[in-house]
Structure 1
Amino acid sequence: MEHIGRYGRDGYGGAGYGEAGYDAAGAGTGSSFSAWLQAEHPDLLPFGRTPLGAPGSPVAGESLAPHGTTIVAMTYGGGVLMAGDRRATMGNVIASRHIEKVHPADSYSVLGVAGTAGIALDVMRLFQVELEHYEKIEGTLLSLEGKANRLGAMVRDNLPRAVQGLAVLPLFAGYDTTRAVGRIFSYDVTGGRYEEIEHHTVGSGSAFARGALKKLWRPHLTEEEAVRVAVEALFDAADDDSATGGPDAIRRLWPVIMTVGSAGHRRIPEHELAEVCESVLEGRSSAGREA
């Protein structure tokens, strides 16, 4: 019999897992690393640092932080795909052209982060440790629903900083092994969790990327077709949103694209992305010359 642990596969079967993670007697649940961290070392949490405006907080000129933008996710015939551009901005300045906004959360899920880059990446790393800790303690993977719920709680914990302008908006996707299907979850700044059907985008270029997905996405895409659709969507976002970086053929910088299926997650190799991006560039350049 599969061991599902004291708190169930959804991570919410016991008292307070989604809150402090401690029972009435004050004993740690053991399944939640972030709950233990919150009780023992809250200053180490991404949202446990000194808020802006409090004594000892950064002054206004020092509070500018790089922001990451457009993330795209879609289902396809074999699972789910997530893609992100490589640009981070700080006001009107390009802070980085190399940032990676899409990462594996565990073997069967991926996480994309938009918003304040430093906090977003810290939340991503904490979420990875949280899932690994749960697996080691309980002896089984947390269900996809449980992972989505736990991420929502982390986003909610960042609400005080989101109100001050340091928001984190993740996009979470994974392969549901019980249903053999890819699923996508989006969040608002309060930690509200919403399951998205077919495809979704977040970030400043999301409206433009979503328009491309509406035209190009269709059920049962192959992995290769889904990768091209993601590249096209990011091209459209970069064309109209200055905070989104398009594929850069000069610097050989391509989006980060990951897929998740029954065999686990896979990052699309650079040489495959180069071929797709250059094909899209050639197609758009040809269309411009013909016009």
Structure 2
Amino acid sequence: MANISRESTAGRVSAAATSSFSEHLAQSRPDLLPYGMGPTARALPEGNLPAVPHATTIVALSFAGGVVMAGDRRATMGSMIASRHIEKVFPADQYSVLGIAGTAGIAIDITRLFQVELEHYEKIEGTLLSLEGKANRLGAMIRANLPMAMQGLAVIPLFAGFDAGRSVGRLFSYDVTGGRYEELEHHSVGSGSVFARGALKKLWRPNMTEDEAVRIAVESLYDASDDDSATGGPDMVRRLWPIVYTVTRTGSSKVSERELASVVETVVAARALLAREA
């Protein structure tokens, strides 16, 4: 997947060029598609699947003027911690972000393909794809991974962006078949999603500020890590914080580690105070 680059767009566009980069690859270089996708897709060999890193947990919520998406930093492999530094939230393009849960390697491949898909569309058509169109194309990619999902290598994304036509932030969740569902207020995916969603239900309210939404995202991940061993909480020793992006009419922006450190310290101090008073 690392070999998929912008050069493929320039060097292989033919008379059958299409605004879909994944369709273009399927026609000209199907070997560059993620394993299990495209006309050359094949089933995994029979036998027990090896342990592979899995990514969890992602949360997203709307606020007045946009959306926030955040993910913890832990990847697990069975009962082991495979990584404490994994990034699970990525900018899809200037006005949308993508969070991944599930089989980490395949999820990252699909994320990279989706990023190039949106860039390719813009180059071919001369305009940005609508947010609805982006959500639909991501669903098609997840559907293409269904054979792998049926063998235990599922990818479940969470997609969010700013819809210029409606002047609001919008959230979309998916299932393993590529089914797409719009979430109106907030949502969470991954092994800790049940606990994160419970926190979001209590903390979310309409017309929050961006700063308030960032704090609630961090708090919901904190709650998830408290009950789900596959979700990593803020690491005060290693100074590891969640990856957090905001998307507004001006575009997507990654919340800096300095800002997150301040938010995390405020959240942890408030929890410590409650614990002492209990």
TM-score, reference length from structure 1? 0.87
- Helix, strand or coil at the partner of 2:233: coil
Q: Corresponding residue for 2:251? A: 264
**CA offset digits 1:199-221 (Å, max 9, x no partner):** 00000000000000000000011
Pair 1:76 & 2:81 matched = no
Counterpart for residue 251 of structure 1:
238
**How far apart are the structure 1 equivalents of 2:88 and 2:31?**
24
- Structure 1 residue ranges, 4+ long, deviating more than 4 angstroms after superposition: none
2:199 aligned to 205, 212, 217, which one? Answer: 212
Q: Which residue, out of 21, 36, 61, partners 2:24?
A: 36
Aligned to 1:185: 172
The Cα shift of 1:27 comes to 5.9
- Superposition pairs of residues 106-121 of structure 1, within 5 angstroms: 106-121=93-108
How far did residue 79 of structure 1 move?
Answer: 0.4
Equivalent residue number for residue 3 of structure 2: none
Deviations 1:156-214 (A, max 9, x none): 00000000000000000000001100000010000011111100000000000000000
Q: Secondary structure at the match of 2:98?
A: strand
Of 248, 261, 273, 1:286 maps to 273
* Mean CA deviation greater in 280-289 or 156-165: 280-289
For 2:45, what is the secondary structure of its paired residue?
A: coil
User: Which residue identity lines up with residue 44 of structure 2 in the other structure?
Assistant: L
Please give the alpha-carbon distance, in whole angstroms, between the structure 2 residues aligned to 1:51 and 1:67. Answer: 20
Equivalent AA in structure 2 for residue 210 of structure 1: R
> In 2, distance between residues paired with 1:29 and 1:214?
46
Query: What are the within-5 Å matches in structure 2 for residues 149-164 of structure 1?
Result: 149-164=136-151
Q: Structure 2 stretches of 5 or more lacking a match? A: 1-13
- The aligned amino acid for 2:225 is A
Cα separation, 2, equivalents of 1:119 and 1:146: 22
Counterpart for residue 6 of structure 1: none
* Cα distance change on mapping 1:27 and 1:188 into 2, 3 Å: farther
CA distance in 1, matches of 2:16, 2:110: 21
Q: 1:65 aligns with which of 43, 52, 64?
A: 52
The equivalent position to 2:182 in structure 1, one of 178, 190, 195, is 195
Per the alignment, residue 128 of structure 2 pairs with 141
**Offset at 1:50?**
4.6
Q: 2 CA distance for matches of 1:219 and 1:270?
A: 26
For the residues of structure 2 that align with 1:150 and 1:29, how far apart are their CA atoms?
17
Matched, 1:226 2:213: yes
Mapped partners of 1:236, 1:215: distance in 2: 12
**Please, what is the CA RMSD of the aligned residues?**
1.4
Contiguous gaps of at least 5 residues in structure 1:
1-25
Q: Secondary structure at the match of 2:61?
A: strand
- Kindly provide the CA deviation profile for residues 101-158 of structure 1, in whole angstroms up to 9, marking residues without a partner as x: 0000000000000000000000000000000000011000000010000000000000
Amino acid at match of 1:80: V
Match of 2:43 among 35, 44, 51: 51
SS in structure 1 at match of 2:127: coil
